Amino acid sequence: MEKIKMTTPLVEMDGDEMTRILWQMIKDELLLPYIDLKTEYYDLGLEHRNETNDQVTVDSAHATQKYGVAVKCATITPNAARMTEYDLKEMWKSPNGTIRAILDGTVFRAPILIKGIVPYVKNWTKPITIARHAYGDVYKNAEIKVPGKGKAELVFTAEDGTVTRELIHHFDGAGILQGIHNTEKSISSFARACFNYAIDTKQDLWFATKDTISKKYDHTFKDIFQEIYEGEYKDKFKKLGIEYFYTLIDDAVARVIRSEGGFIWACKNYDGDVMSDMVATAYGDLSMMTSVLVSPDGVYEYEAAHGTVQRHYYKHLKGEETSTNSIATIFAWTGAIRKRGELDNIPELTAFADKLEKACIKTVEDGKMTKSLSLISTCESPVILNSLDFIRAIRETFDALT
């Protein structure tokens, strides 16, 4: 059989622990036999990040800007325990944070739906994609613990010296204070990423804030979205028959619960943090969530939403059998391969991605799955496979699909 040819390389970001083991299995069993795989390889495993003083992460992000599409394996974000475990020179930053800062992107997370894994919210028959604004608000705040009586003010000094003041509160006793900010640049780029992704995936876009209470802060988010929509996207949305819908965050939550899914829900930073975990849990579990970072200038980086599955890795190191779910990591590859196919106009690549995703879903629907999936599946007598056998079962399904 002739292997599918590629013209532009994918940026391949290898990672850590159990997902690094799965990464190689996926390549060996599901990709290399079918595709003449062209990648530019970056080893983001913690040891190599440490050896290169984390330069490899920066280089991989720049390569992504150059080629347009990357696929990333889960990576360790070092903490105190990892400093000793890997004898690190420094507590290197989260690779995802570094890459996001360079690409200036928005993260879209969507669940993979499979028959037999029923969402807690029964009417969610289609995926809900959460888009989280990943800049500012409470994540870049300034806080004061107020010791006692006094006056708190918000003060802005412009470059020309003009001062704007707003009373926050007259404290009668001890309390707390918080200053948060955002920028028009960041909000606009978030809005464009959301509108572009809605067009890309032909789904409605919902956005919500608390603009009735926060008449300047949240209202600015609402206004920026509306202006950009009217000025740049309204016609394109109309042509595709999709909708941009704004509502209050409390109304949005009620509507989301009653909906059947099938839309993108753009969230401010904190809302997105909370809602993405709620949505992931309600659909099944984290191992069935995909994640893609989309930059305002149309660069894509695909990954699984879960981490490196550390506990399974330690079992693997002890020579024990693991049953780790590789589906979200496979979908990271198929997402990237499909996008490469679209950009380079290679329909065989796009068709391959569709077929491999179908094979993953069919394998589980046929009752073959990993242990964590069997715990949430309604399948009465699931066949529980180890990590490698599950990937091989997907390959068998793939080969049998016409």
Residues contributing to the annotated binding site for Mn(2+): 250, 273
- Answer for the pair 280, 305: CB distance below 8 angstroms, yes or no: yes
Which are the contacts of 228, defined by CB distance < 8 A and separation ≥ 6?
188, 191, 192, 195
Q: Is residue 39 close enough to count as binding ligand NAD by CB under 6 A?
A: no
Residue ranges for the known binding site for D-threo-isocitrate are: 77, 94-100, 109, 132
Min separation Cβ 313 and ligand NAD, Å: 9
Rounded Cα–Cα distance for residues 112 and 364 (Å): 12
> CB-wise, 196 or 387, nearer to ligand NAD?
387
> CB-wise, 194 or 304, nearer to ligand NAD?
304
* SS3 state at 334: helix
Structure tokens that stand for 44 in this block? 């983001």
Span near ligand NAD by CB under 6 A; candidates 225-233, 245-253, 301-309, 343-351: 301-309
Strand duo 128-132 + 263-267: pairing: parallel
- Answer for the pair 89, 52: CB distance below 8 angstroms, yes or no: no
Strand duo 300-304 + 289-294: pairing: antiparallel
> CB-wise, 78 or 341, nearer to ligand NAD?
78
Min separation Cβ 211 and ligand NAD, Å: 32
Min separation Cβ 302 and ligand NAD, Å: 11
> CB-wise, 114 or 224, nearer to ligand NAD?
114
Would residue 199 be called left, alpha or beta, if left means φ above 0 and alpha means ψ between -120 and 50 degrees? Answer: alpha
Q: Is residue 76 close enough to count as binding ligand NAD by CB under 6 A?
A: yes
Rounded Cα–Cα distance for residues 347 and 108 (Å): 24
Residue ranges for the known binding site are: 77, 94-100, 109, 132, 250, 273
Q: At what angle do helices 347-365 and 387-400 cross, to 10 degrees?
A: 120
Residue number of the CB atom closest to ligand NAD? 307
Q: Which residue has the tokens 């016609």?
A: 235
Tell me the CA distances in angstroms from 108 to 79, 104, 139, 150, 209, one per residue in order: 26, 13, 19, 43, 18
Q: Which residue has the tokens 């964590």?
A: 372
Q: Is residue 89 close enough to count as binding ligand NAD by CB under 6 A?
A: no
Q: Is residue 109 close enough to count as binding ligand NAD by CB under 6 A?
A: no
Min separation Cβ 391 and ligand NAD, Å: 12
Count of residues that interact with ligand NAD, criterion CB under 6 A: 17
Q: Is residue 64 close enough to count as binding ligand NAD by CB under 6 A?
A: no
Min separation Cβ 271 and ligand NAD, Å: 20
Which chain residues interact with ligand NAD by CB under 6 A? 74-77, 96, 286-287, 303, 306-311, 324-325, 372
